[in-house]
Structure 1
Amino acid sequence: MFQLIDAEGAATAPDRLPSPETQLMLYRHMRRIRHFDERAWVLYRQGKMGVFPPFGGMEAAQAGTAATLTPDDWLFPSYRETGAALTYGLPIKQSIAYWRSSPHGWYMPDHLKVTPFYIPIATQYPHAVGAALAERNRGTQNIAMTYIGDGGSSEGDFHEALNFAGALNAPCVFILNNNGWAISVPTRTQTRARDLSKRADGYGIPGVRVDGNDILAVYVVASEAVERARRGEGPTLIETVTYRVKAHTVADDPSRYRTDEDNAGWDAKDPVKRLRTYLLAQGTLTEESDAALLREIEQEFEQALRDADEFPEPKPSEIMDHVFAVPTPQQEQQRAVILEEYGA
């Protein structure tokens, strides 16, 4: 398993490390999305957020991959990749609106090629391949990146997408975030495979296994896969080995199916603490600059929360918006019924 910084924050392969500027950029992304994750829990308990799937402890796997993309690339997130979408550029206020089930969060900004979070398991994988092939057919060097969990890798769509991408040499990067659990089912139960990256072998594409709590290693592996796709050398499957330290969703009680033995050791592998320890030891980060960064992140979130609070209350007819660019005749009829029953 590829690794650049160990759990104690010591470099294991100094010659492979990205630049100090890149290290700080990645650290900022992780702190920023962790703050979102922590505040989302609070908002849910205050009745100001809907059911939200937390990603705390998985920041490296999300930020380290999404940070390799340009705005011209595609991002296809599953429901747990809010952190990846934020890293890619999705505004915080829209993420808050989305998890409030507000129509103001249903659409994606025009300048970003990111899809809404996929709730069905694995359907995003074939869609990403299609987008990647469309970019190639248009003559661009843009790529598509998509995410799945270990449970999703047992779905048919996962295997069909890998075969489709391999056969057609699609410029697509597949991220498999192996966090140990498919809701309440551990990976060891849902498959006998212990190295999920080897699933790539069956489709003739490269598979890489990386320490998913080491963001520098994740970033290097993802960067290489992205550049490989841009050069026309086809897809890559990246398995990030991490752990879902939090619940499946804020409404879940993991104590009903997870034991202390299952959780043992993962807090010590925390990706944010690991990079922070390394940066402080190198002098790239100081206690003062870290505190200033946290203040900046807090202020950004609070402003985004105020902006989200100012979105007008949704109207019943808005449920028909942002489904198709041009509404179908059936949608027009349904919208007319809603307007008749509930008014404008």
Structure 2
Amino acid sequence: MTSFASFADLRAACLDLPSGDEAAAARVAAREGTLTKPPGSLGRLEEAVEWLARWQGMSPPRLEAIEFLVFAGNHGVVAQGVSAYPAEVTAQMVANFAAGGAAINQLAHVVGAELRVIALDLDRPTRDFTEAPAMDEAEFLEAAAAGYDALSPDADLVVLGEMGIGNTTAAAAVSAALFGGGGPRFAGRGTGVDEAGLRRKQGAIDQGLKRHAAVLDDPLKLAAALGGRELAAILGACLAARHRRVPVLIDGFVSTAAVAPLKKLRSDALDHTLAGHMSAESGHRFLLQELELSPLLDLGMRLGEGSGAAIAVLVLRAALACHTGMATFAEARVSGKDG
């Protein structure tokens, strides 16, 4: 079992990152240049196969063992009236996942992935961050370690998702702490709050930023003060994937906010990730811009659960099928660009 002894210990792990395999990526690029199509004509599909090869360290890459990790947590800031649903819905949805009744269950089946749902102390919500740090150091490190240990060692690709009533408020607070703009820039309607609820949400975020101003220059400490257990676990899982050279598809606003502290700690920390989609949650566009991530899809989704990234797996499967299945010019006896 992984154990991070302190913020300093986790920070050291976040800074000690392996590079990708550029030779494997180059082999993919070389093959792409021989396939029966104009160079670069498959656009981001070609780039995606290179990315998979770089982080799996093999050419061609593979998509045989795909893992969906969905982390669930509860949030004390719900007491501020920031969600349209009560906190008990988190546990009810976890039960729905277990019964196979959620959207992510159907999507995991369609793309041929294993779904695992990890509930993190649902009966013990984080503290209301307008009044106190959401988590102390030990609680944050425990959740990060749980995420780190959740990743299977043989995964070819991991999709990171979440469930937690109130977690778009936590995600917006973390995003605002990292990149500025306060509640108005990053707070959206989440589960569907009305105008009054949106104002409460913005106000809670700004109050949290003010209360925890002393730690806003430390990405990990602010994630503990303003975030949630499921966000910490996603950070831990993303870090484990980098250490083990497993490519990651990030889902929507909450998952993206969860991994954003890694980028602040080291500029290339998210090179092994792709943004699966652009969420309809208003702050996601701004956050992706700050992280310099270009989403594969924009379908107007805002469900969470890993659902948008799950659909992006189909794009990766299509990309890999073209790379491995297409004939070369020589095999097809088709004249190349230069005759």
TM-score by length of 1: 0.27
**TM-score, normalised on structure 2?**
0.27
